[in-house]
Amino acid sequence: MLRNELTFPPKSFLGQINQDSWDFLSSRWRTQLYKSGQFLINADDNNRDVFFVLRGSAKATIYTDSGREVSFISVGTGDCFGEFSALDDSPRSASVVAAEECLAARIDQSNYIQLMRSHSDMTFSLLNILIGHLRDLSKRVVDFNAKNADERLHDALLELALKYQRGEEDNVLIPRPPTQSELAAFIFSSRESVAREMGRMRKMGLLARQKRALEIPSVDNLRAFTESS
């Protein structure tokens, strides 16, 4: 597979590695197309393969004993997951589910370890991404203790708007927004609470629906609202 066939965000794992690492990876992985809602890996799985998202997105989740879903990280195009089990040879700590149609590649543990030992750019890229995940999770722990559910929702929607913002444009359209249940799982709240607050924000003109897409009429207004709440 030629690297120029696909475009990856520069901060993603596949967007950071060099051509030599790409050639090594793409010559050894196998690809599979997953439907939305299909599991790529299950918690406590014993396989040690590492996955790479070539197109689409997925989410890492944990299910509590009561069956409640807790979503703690999103995996987008160019990102990888499953490296924890490959490196420490332990069972999976979370499930990963396709958030939309998702094309993913996977490589076995032995090839992954060989690559990590021989390609310093890949090792540095992984460390950089893991540090970013740790910072994000640390912020979410602080926010959970310092902010209420509505404030955490405001932060999540602003972060989503900034992700899809192009340049300095103030109006943003999110074509495949997370569902209310997915947002609730991400901010440790309930779907009812998320629905109620998003309804209030729509009445204030901060959010709008364009068929299946979510519109942010003004990122500046949403930011001001978030900072003042």
Bridge partners of 105?
31, 52
pLDDT tens for 52-83 read 999 998 988 887 777 777 776 788 889 999 99
Could you tell me what percent of the chain has a pLDDT over 70? Answer: 97
| pLDDT tens digits, one per residue of 85-112 | 999 988 888 899 998 899 999 999 999 9
- Identify the residue with better confidence: 191 or 4: 191
Q: Dig out the tokens for 127 from the structure.
A: 């460390």
- Residue-wise over 175-188: b if at least 16 C-beta within 10 A, else e? eebbebebbbbbbe
For residue 85, give the 3-state DSSP assignment. helix
Q: So what's the pLDDT on residue 4?
A: 47
Domains of the chain, start order? 3-144 (2.60.120.10), 147-228 (1.10.10.10)
Closest CA to 202 of 183, 222, 182: 222
For the chain, the average pLDDT equals: 88
pLDDT at 63: 77
pLDDT band at 132 (very low <50, low <70, confident <90, very high): confident
> Please, what's the b/e burial string for 17-54 (b: 16 or more CB within 10 A of its CB; e: otherwise)?
beeebbebbbebbeeeebeeeeebbeeebeebbbbbbb
The three-state secondary structure class of 31 is: strand
